[in-house]
Amino acid sequence: MKFKNKILNVLLLLSICSSIYAQQPKRKPNIIFILTDDLGYGDVGIFFQNYRAKLSKPFQLTPNLNQMAANGAMLLNSYAAAPVCAPSRASLLLGQSQGHANIRDNQFDKALADNYTLGNVLQKAGYKTAVIGKWGLQGEGKPENWIAHPLNRGFDYFYGYMRHEDGHEHYPKEGIYRGKKEVYENRTELAGHLDKCYTGDLWTAVAKRWIVEHRQKNNDQPFFIYLSYDTPHAVLELPTQAYPDGGGLNGGIQWLGKSGQMINTAKGLPDSWMDPDYASATYDHDQNPLTPQIPWPDTYKRYATSTKRIDAQVGDLLKLLSDLKIDEQTIVVFTSDNGPSNEAYLPKPHVPFAANFFESFGPFNGIKRDVLEGGLRTPTIVQWAKHIAPNSIVGHPNISYDWMPTFTHAAGLSAPSVADGVSLLPSLLKKNKQRESLIYVEYEQNGKTPNYPEFALNNRNRTRNQMQMLRVGNTVGIRYDIKSGQEDFELYDIVNDQGQAKKMASSKKNIALQEQLKEKAMQVRMVNKSAPRPYDEDFVPGNKVAKLKSGLELKTYRDLASWVPNTTDLKELASQKVENMNLVANQMNANVYEFKGYLKIDQAASYTFFLKTSGKAFFRIHEAAVIDADYNYVKNTELYHSIKLKKGYHQVKLTIKLDHPSDQFELMWSAADLKKQVIDPRLWYY
């Protein structure tokens, strides 16, 4: 059965969609997203190291990041989507949680899904896009098999490491500790020209050159750079020399472009320069003023030198924006891909690295590979001169896949329906109401948490295996070593118990919250067979709802984006009750139709849903993305997916983008004892 769009007077005008997007500046801002590798929440001065300095403990200096925070906003409750590199970066680029992203757990070098990315959504918004630095999401095998090369995922330019493992060495030509590596400019390998190039300096020089050249050629076109550092990751190699003075257009790191001396720090001795602030640093190792101070181990001098080098590189870039007089036109985000590591790829006699020497995890427990706060919290700073007020504090809990809706919002567009996040501009600009973020993480890793004395007893030597994390308001629920989906979450008041030392008592309120988390954990994800979970075979619970009416809500919108939009921030044209998924001819300017309501399930079973359209569509049950008939969808192709549903009422949302009067769509379902058919209208409620 097909339902035909009967709207006869559709005006395909380029009318401006009235929404909160219209309140943003008319000029689309440039966007620079700076992602560091394994930098902990506690590694940045303004977040935690300044506090350690007051206690006379070993501390790191990050003056430029401190100033960036003073000029903009500190996001104190920012989470990575996963506690390790590849899945975290995949969720960031796809705008999807780990309940939906195709790269999960430790799937390094797996091809990033061919879907909307930060790159291609901004390309469609008119941006020139670039990736500089570490990628690691290209697909396995030889270069000809790299189906997810950045140039195939929405980026106009790439310069950097393609493979994940390459990011574990900071001198690609010399390969001091981890062997020689390959560096690509677009599809051309050129590491042979990169004598003595320390990667953090190299990526910075390329970014500066690219910005300057882009401004010279395309002054009116906005740009987006994903600047993906591979520092301070565990190899802990040192630069060749001090950071050049000045910064910006005429100082700091400069691109020379000569084979053998590509950048102005490509001279001297690789892995040799120790920051003088740390070269002779000592500390009181036993907190006893009567015993002599001892030198910092070389391992930690290296780590601190690396983090301060990142700080200098960020300061250099910010100075460039000021020199070019585009700082007021540019959003700059600084953050990390996950919590701090406890690894160092250094030969003996270097001491092993431990993340508690600087308390790189900040006031939290957990490190990289943990879903405890220390493994997921990131030191996130955003600067946008004259738009974000200086010294702003954003307390709204947020997560890395919120950046896709944030950037599309800044560019004046809706976010794609596939995106799981929300725009953070209301919090950053202090305008309009901030919607709640979905903060959800799932991850699997063998091993245990460190036995650090800074950690609460319950978080030391914890067995990891299957893990899960959800945050609702100020409560965080976690599960470690999950064997069954029926296991309780550990509940923590994360505001008053940042170390997650004391489980919340089993009050009536918390018992209800426990049940809410168990239900939500099943409602926000889809099964991925490449990353099996112990709860994959469980049935998704329905919603606890009050009195319902028969039928569905149909809301109509007008949106100019090329994708099926998330309609949350669009201005509604009309809303009405319908008996079934029929389009009603009453909105001549609508091109987006959204059905919302509840589907009554009379018997727990695995249900398969079938969707096809001559337009585009996106179908969710609860927050689970069941069918994506949007990106690269071939019109009138039937897509289907199965999901196990418990008896009860299940929230549904079908969003359809129909750009022509003749467009059609069809939604059907089946089960073991139910032949494929249109859903009975008597099962729809709102």
pLDDT grade for 164, boundaries at 50, 70 and 90:
very high
Structure confidence by residue, pLDDT tens digits, 26-52: 689 999 999 999 999 999 999 999 999
Structure confidence by residue, pLDDT tens digits, 332-357: 999 999 999 999 999 999 999 999 99
Amino acid at 440: Y
Residue 487 has pLDDT above 90, yes or no: yes
What CA–CA distance (Å, rounded) separates 312 from 247?
9
- Scored b (16 or more CB within 10 A) or e, 586-599 reads ebebbbbbbbbbbb
pTM across the whole model: 0.95
* Nearest to 552, CA basis, from 583, 524, 523: 583
What CA–CA distance (Å, rounded) separates 603 from 671?
10
Lowest mean pLDDT, pick from 4-8, 188-192, 344-348, 682-686: 4-8
pLDDT of residue 587: 57
* Nearest to 348, CA basis, from 301, 307, 297: 297
Q: Are 592 and 568 in contact (CB under 8 A)?
A: no
pLDDT of residue 548: 95
pLDDT grade for 546, boundaries at 50, 70 and 90:
confident
Which residue did the predictor score with more confidence, 20 or 367?
A: 367
Beta-sheet strands, E only, within 473-581: 475-479, 490-493, 552-557, 574-578
CA distances from residue 500 to 206, 456, 491, 492 in whole angstroms, order as listed = 42, 7, 9, 6
**Positive or negative, the Cα torsion across 122, 123, 127, 128?**
positive
In DSSP notation, 347-367 reads -TTSPPP-TTTTTTTTTS---
What CA–CA distance (Å, rounded) separates 115 from 352?
41
Q: Are 552 and 578 in contact (CB under 8 A)?
A: yes
List for the chain the helix, strand, coil content (%; round to 5): 20, 25, 50
pLDDT grade for 285, boundaries at 50, 70 and 90:
confident
Q: Token pair of 256, please?
A: 């020379």
pLDDT of residue 632: 97
| 3-state DSSP assignment of residue 592 | strand
Q: What are phi and psi of 260, to 5 degrees?
A: 95, -20
pLDDT of residue 17: 34
As a whole number, mean pLDDT of residues 444-460 equals 97
What CA–CA distance (Å, rounded) separates 231 from 180?
17
Structure confidence by residue, pLDDT tens digits, 618-636: 999 999 999 999 999 999 9
What CA–CA distance (Å, rounded) separates 443 from 91?
13
Bridge partners, 293 (sequence order): none
pLDDT grade for 8, boundaries at 50, 70 and 90:
very low
What CA–CA distance (Å, rounded) separates 338 from 331?
22
Structure confidence by residue, pLDDT tens digits, 220-237: 999 999 999 999 999 999
CA distances from residue 309 to 42, 100, 205, 572, 640 in whole angstroms, order as listed = 16, 35, 13, 49, 50
Q: Are 172 and 183 in contact (CB under 8 A)?
A: yes
Q: How far apart are the first and last CA of the chain?
A: 23
As a whole number, mean pLDDT of residues 191-202 equals 98
* Nearest to 170, CA basis, from 134, 207, 130: 134
Residue 289 has pLDDT above 90, yes or no: no
Q: Are 132 and 186 in contact (CB under 8 A)?
A: no
Amino acid at 331: I
CA distances from residue 101 to 105, 110, 452 in whole angstroms, order as listed = 11, 12, 32
As a whole number, mean pLDDT of residues 438-453 equals 97
Residue 180 has pLDDT above 90, yes or no: yes
pLDDT grade for 286, boundaries at 50, 70 and 90:
confident
What CA–CA distance (Å, rounded) separates 259 from 237?
22
Q: Are 407 and 118 in contact (CB under 8 A)?
A: yes
What CA–CA distance (Å, rounded) separates 184 from 182?
7
pLDDT of residue 292: 86
Q: Are 451 and 651 in contact (CB under 8 A)?
A: no
pLDDT of residue 16: 29
Residue 206 has pLDDT above 80, yes or no: yes
As a whole number, mean pLDDT of residues 488-503 equals 98
Residue 197 has pLDDT above 60, yes or no: yes
Which domains can be identified in the chain, with CATH numbers?
A: 3-17+543-685 (3.90.182.10), 30-411 (3.40.720.10), 441-523 (no CATH)
pLDDT of residue 152: 98
| Structure-derived torsion over alpha carbons of residues 680, 99, 227, 178, reported in degrees to the nearest 10 | -140
| Structure-derived torsion over alpha carbons of residues 40, 42, 46, 50, reported in degrees to the nearest 10 | -140
120: number of CA atoms within 13 Å, CB side? 19
pLDDT of residue 15: 31
* Nearest to 155, CA basis, from 138, 142, 173: 138
pLDDT of residue 663: 84
What CA–CA distance (Å, rounded) separates 395 from 261?
45
As a whole number, mean pLDDT of residues 46-60 equals 97
pLDDT of residue 588: 62
- Contacts for 473 with CB less than 8 Å, ≥ 6 apart: none
Structure confidence by residue, pLDDT tens digits, 371-430: 999 999 999 999 999 999 999 999 999 999 999 999 999 999 999 999 999 999 999 999
Residue 662 has pLDDT above 60, yes or no: yes
Cβ atoms within 10 Å of 63's Cβ, excluding its own:
13
| % of the chain beyond a pLDDT of 70 | 95
What CA–CA distance (Å, rounded) separates 12 from 660?
8
Q: Token pair of 44, please?
A: 């940045």
* 496 secondary structure, DSSP code: T
What CA–CA distance (Å, rounded) separates 597 from 167?
47
Helix axes of 63-71 and 298-323: crossing angle, nearest 10 degrees: 40
Alpha helices (H) in 133-283, listed in sequence order: 199-217, 276-279
pLDDT grade for 584, boundaries at 50, 70 and 90:
low
Structure confidence by residue, pLDDT tens digits, 166-175: 999 999 999 9
| 3-state DSSP assignment of residue 493 | strand
Q: Are 28 and 125 in contact (CB under 8 A)?
A: yes
Question: How, if at all, do strands 223-228 and 30-36 pair?
Answer: parallel
Helix axes of 199-217 and 298-323: crossing angle, nearest 10 degrees: 10
Mean pLDDT of the chain: 94
pLDDT of residue 287: 75
* Nearest to 615, CA basis, from 678, 658, 667: 658
Amino acid at 37: D
CA gyration radius for the chain? Answer: 26
